[in-house]
Amino acid sequence: MAVRLHPDADQLVDYSSGGLSPALCVSVSAHLHFCDACRLRNDQLAEIGGVLLEDVNPELLGECALDEVLSKLDENTDIASKVVTGPQDVEPELAKLPQMVRSLLPDTGPRWRFLSPSLRVSKIPVGETRYELSLHKIKAGGKTPDHDHNGLEVTVVLQGSFSDESGVYNEGDFIVRRPGEIHKPIASQHEECISLSVEEAPIRLVGPVSRFLNPFFSFNPQ
């Protein structure tokens, strides 16, 4: 199925030029995994970087620079021999997630926290303070609490699908929610839904259970 929702041009440009925050960077990467059209756009934007690189005035390096670099080339060659294990060994259902997402998860599997009977969340530390990245898993047919946002929220569907008042979202969809856009995601009936989420500030739950659930959403940047 074709991906329906994409990052906008500004986000792709900031991604390509290296300015996007790490958590958002991961969400765009996850989208690119599913979306050939945006991969093409991203390749085109990288070409701008290539052209600009060729266009600068070269700055001479120190006389010994090449020798120094040559002497370091044979160090640390263990990159290629990395053993391919991952969280999928513990949770086989994660095997279908994009490799770049799996590589961000601990080999022992994500540490899930139960936020409601149908919603589990696992934070992914990316070393930044403004945005928080996490993996969400909603049981098939599971409903999540209504929530609002204090800041930007980006969700990328990695597996399965979910819906809310505004539509159905499938694998690869890049869903942007802004403050005030309260929504209540529900996973599709036939399979669980795994998604990646970036939140700018703690989510505010609204409704009767919020008082109990809110502490779990405490903003705790790594």
Q: Which residues bind other proteins (CB under 8 A)?
A: 2, 4, 6-10, 12-14, 17-20, 22, 25-26, 28-30, 32-33, 36-62, 65-66, 68-70, 72-73, 77, 79, 98-100, 103-104, 125-129, 222
Q: How far apart are CA 185 and CA 165, in angstroms?
A: 8
Shortest approach of other proteins to residue 160 CB, angstroms?
A: 19
Contact between 157 and 170 (Cβ < 8 Å): yes
Scored b (16 or more CB within 10 A) or e, 151-173 reads bbbbbbbbbbbbbbeeeebbbbb
Q: How far apart are CA 160 and CA 110, in angstroms?
A: 18
Q: How many CA atoms lie within 13 A of 219 on its CB side?
A: 15
**52 or 209: whose CB is closer to other proteins?**
52
**47 or 107: whose CB is closer to other proteins?**
47
Contact between 193 and 160 (Cβ < 8 Å): yes
Shortest approach of other proteins to residue 141 CB, angstroms?
A: 27
Contact between 140 and 189 (Cβ < 8 Å): yes
Shortest approach of other proteins to residue 68 CB, angstroms?
A: 7
Shortest approach of other proteins to residue 111 CB, angstroms?
A: 15
Is 128 exposed, middle or buried (CB count within 10 Å of its CB: 0-12, 13-18, 19+)?
A: middle
Shortest approach of other proteins to residue 83 CB, angstroms?
A: 17
